[in-house]
């Protein structure tokens, strides 16, 4: 690493304003190339080298800050235009969403009533099919292998039981829906966990997903350390000195 390189002290930190991006690109790329001269893998070995790298660091920080400010200025008209589009459309979309939600709320009681009726009918059909299957099985057991009429009657009962089973399957697959529009409107199940026993839940996830639990605990600890705590049960707090 060279002791001195006056290049990093030459020129203003801000590029010409005619073309901010091109100016900042040239300036930052120059600083980057200059950084290569100092950051050559040999490390800082003298105070003059440390001062030179510190000066270069300061120039890079200022250049990055000013470039980001220029980026913000350039982007502002686009942000303002996007906000204007959002402000124009949001009330209309909110109005449509309100109507959609209200339609769903109006349909829900009816669809749940129809679904309850279908479930009851499906359960009755399943019970009937199971009863017919038992009767058919008993008839087959009771029929003599040489009694053709009894065998024929038992076979008829078996076929009837099969048809009843198929009817029960169709009844169980039938769902409540409203057919208006391009697609039918129906019900969908949504499952939401409700924590009732935190200790049991913790034991479960420690056993089944220990890495996720560790990550959660580490996040809590990082928040405590950031708040100033230096002693946390189950953790060792280490100190690392970094350049700022």
- Residues in the chain, pLDDT under 70: 1-18
pLDDT given at position 163: 94
Locate 93 and state its tokens: 């979309």
Termini Cα distance of the chain: 21
- pLDDT number for residue 14: 52
Residue 82 in 3-state DSSP? helix
Q: Give me the sign of the Cα torsion angle 154, 158, 163, 168.
A: positive
pLDDT at 104: 93
- Compute the distance between CA of residue 237 and CA of residue 220 in angstroms, rounded to an integer: 13
pLDDT (tens digit per residue) in 147-182: 899 999 999 999 999 999 999 998 888 888 888 877
The pLDDT assigned to 41 comes to: 87
Number of H helices, E strands in the chain: 5, 2
pLDDT value, residue 12: 45
Q: Which two tokens stand for residue 72?
A: 């913000």
pLDDT of residue 231: 96
């Amino acid at each position: 690493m060279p002791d001195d390189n006056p290049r990093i002290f030459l020129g203003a930190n801000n590029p010409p304003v005619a073309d901010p991006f091109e100016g900042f690109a040239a300036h930052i790329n120059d600083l980057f190339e200059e950084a290569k001269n100092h950051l050559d893998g040999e490390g800082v070995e003298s105070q003059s080298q440390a001062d030179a790298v510190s000066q270069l660091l300061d120039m890079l920080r200022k250049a990055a800050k000013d470039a980001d400010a220029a980026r913000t200025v350039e982007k502002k008209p686009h942000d303002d235009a996007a906000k204007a589009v959002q402000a124009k459309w949001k009330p209309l979309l909110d109005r449509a969403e309100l109507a959609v939600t209200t339609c769903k709320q109006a349909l829900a009681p009816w669809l749940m009533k129809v679904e309850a009726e279908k479930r009851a009918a499906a359960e009755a059909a399943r019970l009937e099919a199971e009863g017919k299957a038992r009767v058919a099985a008993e008839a087959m057991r009771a029929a003599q292998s040489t009694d053709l009429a009894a065998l024929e009657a038992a076979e008829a009962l078996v076929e009837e039981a099969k048809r009843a089973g198929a009817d029960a399957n169709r009844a169980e697959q039938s769902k409540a829906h409203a057919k208006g529009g391009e697609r039918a409107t129906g019900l969908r199940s949504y499952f939401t966990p409700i924590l009732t026993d935190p200790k049991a839940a913790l034991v479960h996830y420690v056993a089944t997903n220990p890495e996720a639990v560790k990550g959660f605990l580490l996040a809590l600890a990082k928040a405590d350390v950031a708040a100033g705590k230096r002693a946390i049960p189950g953790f060792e707090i280490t100190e690392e000195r970094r350049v700022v």
